[in-house]
Amino acid sequence: MQSSLEDTKYILKKYNIKANKKLGQNFLINDEIIEKIISASQINKEDLVIEIGPGLGTLTLKLLENAGKVIAIELDTNMIKILKDRFNLYDNFILLNEDVLKVDLKELISKYSNKERKVKVVANLPYYITTPIIMKLLEDKINIDSITVMVQKEVADRITAIPGDKLSGAITYSVNYYAEANNIAFVDKNSFMPVPEVDSEVIKLKIRNKSQVDVENEELFFKIIKASFMQRRKTLVNGLINSGIITDKNDIKNIFEEIGLNLEIRGEKLTIQQFAELSNLIGKTI
Ligand code: SAM
């Protein structure tokens, strides 16, 4: 059995292609990490796996061996040709030549899944669109069980930070609202070919059946979170006023008093529960 480094070199040479930097093509060449991703994703023969950006198919091969069905979504037609040649004998493989951000995932899942099948997303994500992909998977409210993905270390640190901690950002709260996020493994940049500029991390998001906070208006809740992190160094009150969410100072004073928040507090200090309370009260006021 060849290692993924030899596989990768061999395939690139055979098809006479080079990694496309614009599409975030950093191919995984570390077998140990591939095993860690597979093990963390806890996939079995009943599961429907969605892989985003299969590339040359290094991770795909392991997914096909372990999952019930694998739907792979790849934008680059060069990769499509390779993947077709490589996996044409697997009857549990579905390949889509599409931009994942434009795919109707709800429709896709309802076409290939049934109630018994759990849907799990497993991928080494293209870094230039990591956040939009993760937010799409969460916000589209598709029926998925978990998302196990490789992302840049810096993004992983933000996503898995405890809301209110120094590293937390708007994405910490948004992800936390929908899922429980955990670090799985640090991945040195030398685990890829070509070698990217930064290290990576595998994270797992286990989707919550029900959010741990009660939010009456999700749109307003996320708008408030975004506004408070847009101007991180300013107070939360300023963030709310400048974004036009709520402008009457008396209203703000009353709401802050009711939740027990100091008027000088910065948004990054709030817990997700406090953001929920804040947005529910603002929703009743405006
Ligand atoms: N899975 C492979 C691996 O681990 O070696 C490749 C991972 S590489 C980091 C990211 C992959 O995502 C590339 O194959 C790239 O062509 C693909 N990709 C980039 N943008 C995409 C998009 N919008 N939709 C689907 N795939 C995309």
Q: How far is the CA of 163 from the centre of ligand 1 (A)?
A: 30
Domain boundaries, the chain: 4-207, 218-285
Which pairing describes strands 192-193 and 179-187: parallel, antiparallel, or unpaired? unpaired
- Ligand 1 pocket mutation, candidates 25, 83, 96, criterion most atoms within 8 A of CB: 25
| The pair of three-digit structure tokens given for residue 6, joined into one six-digit string | 């030899």
Which amino acid residue places its CA nearest to atom 11 of ligand 1?
A: 53
With a Cβ cut-off of 6 Å, ligand 1 is lined by 23-28, 52-55, 58-59, 73-76, 79, 99-101, 124, 126, 129
Q: Which CATH number fits domain 218-285: 1.10.8.100, 2.30.30.230, 1.10.569.10, 1.10.357.10?
A: 1.10.8.100
- Higher pLDDT residue, 19 or 112? 19
Supply the pLDDT for residue 286. 87
Supply the pLDDT for residue 1. 41
Q: Who's near 282: CB < 8 A, 6+ residues apart?
A: 220, 224, 240, 245, 246, 255
In this predicted model, what pLDDT tens digit does every residue of 221-278 receive, in sequence order?
999 999 998 877 889 999 999 999 999 999 999 999 999 999 999 998 999 999 999 9
Q: Which atom of ligand 1 is nearest to the CA of 23?
A: 19
Supply the pLDDT for residue 175. 96
In this predicted model, what pLDDT tens digit does every residue of 28-43 receive, in sequence order?
999 999 999 999 999 9
Which pTM does this prediction carry? 0.94
Strand arrangement, sheet containing 69-74: 93-97, 69-74, 48-52, 119-124, 146-152, 200-207, 179-187
Q: Which CATH number fits domain 4-207: 3.40.50.12780, 1.10.3720.10, 3.30.230.10, 3.40.50.150?
A: 3.40.50.150
Rounded to whole angstroms, what are the CA distances from 58 to 13, 35, 46, 54, 196? Answer: 15, 11, 21, 8, 17
Supply the pLDDT for residue 207. 97
In this predicted model, what pLDDT tens digit does every residue of 155-174 receive, in sequence order?
999 999 998 888 889 999 99
Q: Is the pLDDT of residue 49 over 50?
A: yes
Q: Which of 85, 98, 29, 41 is nearest to 65 (CA)?
A: 41
